[in-house]
């Protein structure tokens, strides 16, 4: 439907014989207003004088009475009058203004109709392009999701399978490392208390020995007890720092030896 915003009404409309006859009727004003409104509806449709709500729904008497705000009997009287005067025709239940081309600027209306047709064609083409872009984006998004899923599946396949036994061993080693650090920290603490400074050692060798001791079923409490005894003894000695470290190696060895004997 190519809608326009104007229709042409000649200044000599009241000189027309049919309008003069209508003006002589009892409800002349109402009938004339309905005629003008029919012309406006035809202009909105811009389909050579055809009047309908859309291409599939023609206006009925009741519908016109509603949109014209006029009594149904008045609308029916007006339509009957227009038909008698050959001002309208009813074609396939649709109202058609007779001689529409004669009274309107047909070339101007055709130009507007063509402009609207081109505008609608461009609008439909843009919708198709937008839908294509949307579908393309959806396709890309879906493909990306599929690729990520496949990558994750491949990654899981490449990961080594950890058995329950292996996991238990890892947990055991982790717990052993925590206990060994506790023992080493305790040794550093006692060293600082006795010597006045922290021992300058990397801790790697000592940590390894402590893990061996703890793995041999020596408790953290036993280690701390022997460490207390060791440093209490060293308070009374004049060993050098090197001698202290060597003596500590001996302490590790004693603890390890005792722990292994209990096994």
Distance CA(110)–CA(105), nearest Å, equals 9
Tokens, residue 199: 């021992």
Distance CA(184)–CA(94), nearest Å, equals 101
Which domains occur in the chain, in start order? 13-104 (1.10.10.10), 164-262 (no CATH)
Look at residue 141 in the predicted model and tell me its pLDDT: 72
Look at residue 82 in the predicted model and tell me its pLDDT: 94
With H, G, I as helix, E, B as strand and everything else as coil, classify residue 75: helix
Distance CA(34)–CA(101), nearest Å, equals 20
Look at residue 215 in the predicted model and tell me its pLDDT: 72
With H, G, I as helix, E, B as strand and everything else as coil, classify residue 111: helix
Mean pLDDT by 10 residues, the chain (263 residues): 71 90 92 94 86 87 94 95 93 88 64 70 81 60 79 69 77 83 82 70 65 73 77 64 54 62 58
Look at residue 231 in the predicted model and tell me its pLDDT: 73
Look at residue 8 in the predicted model and tell me its pLDDT: 83
The dihedrals phi and psi of 94, each to the nearest 5 degrees, come to -105, 140
Angle between helices 28-45 and 61-68 (to 10 degrees): 100
Distance CA(173)–CA(160), nearest Å, equals 19
Contact (CB, 8 A) for 215 and 183: no
Distance CA(206)–CA(144), nearest Å, equals 52
Is the torsion defined by CA of 224, 226, 232, 234 positive or negative? negative
Look at residue 88 in the predicted model and tell me its pLDDT: 93
The structure's pTM equals: 0.42
Look at residue 191 in the predicted model and tell me its pLDDT: 76
């Amino acid at each position: 439907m190519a809608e326009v915003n104007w229709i042409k009404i000649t200044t000599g409309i009241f000189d027309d014989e049919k309008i003069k006859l209508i003006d002589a009727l009892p409800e002349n004003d109402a009938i004339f207003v309905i005629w003008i409104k029919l012309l406006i509806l035809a202009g909105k449709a811009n389909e050579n004088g055809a009047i309908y709500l859309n291409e599939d729904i023609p206006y009925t008497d009741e519908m016109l009475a509603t949109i014209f705000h006029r009594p149904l009997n008045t609308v029916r009287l007006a339509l009957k009058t227009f038909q008698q005067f050959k001002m309208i025709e009813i074609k396939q239940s649709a109202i058609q203004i007779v001689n529409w081309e004669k009274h309107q600027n047909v070339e101007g209306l055709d130009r507007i109709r063509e402009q609207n047709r081109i505008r609608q064609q461009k609008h439909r083409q843009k919708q198709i392009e937008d839908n294509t872009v949307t579908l393309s984006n959806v396709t890309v998004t879906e493909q990306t999701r599929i690729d990520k899923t496949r990558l994750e599946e491949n990654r899981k396949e490449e990961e080594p399978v950890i058995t329950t036994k292996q996991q238990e061993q890892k947990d055991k080693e982790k717990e052993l490392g925590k206990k060994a650090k506790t023992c080493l920290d305790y040794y550093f603490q006692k060293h600082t208390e006795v010597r006045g400074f922290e021992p300058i050692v990397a801790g790697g060798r000592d940590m390894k020995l402590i893990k061996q001791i703890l793995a041999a079923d020596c408790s953290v409490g036993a280690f701390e007890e022997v460490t207390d005894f060791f440093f209490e003894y060293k308070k009374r000695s004049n060993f050098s720092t090197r001698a202290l470290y060597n003596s500590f190696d001996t302490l590790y060895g004693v603890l390890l030896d005792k722990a292994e004997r209990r096994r």
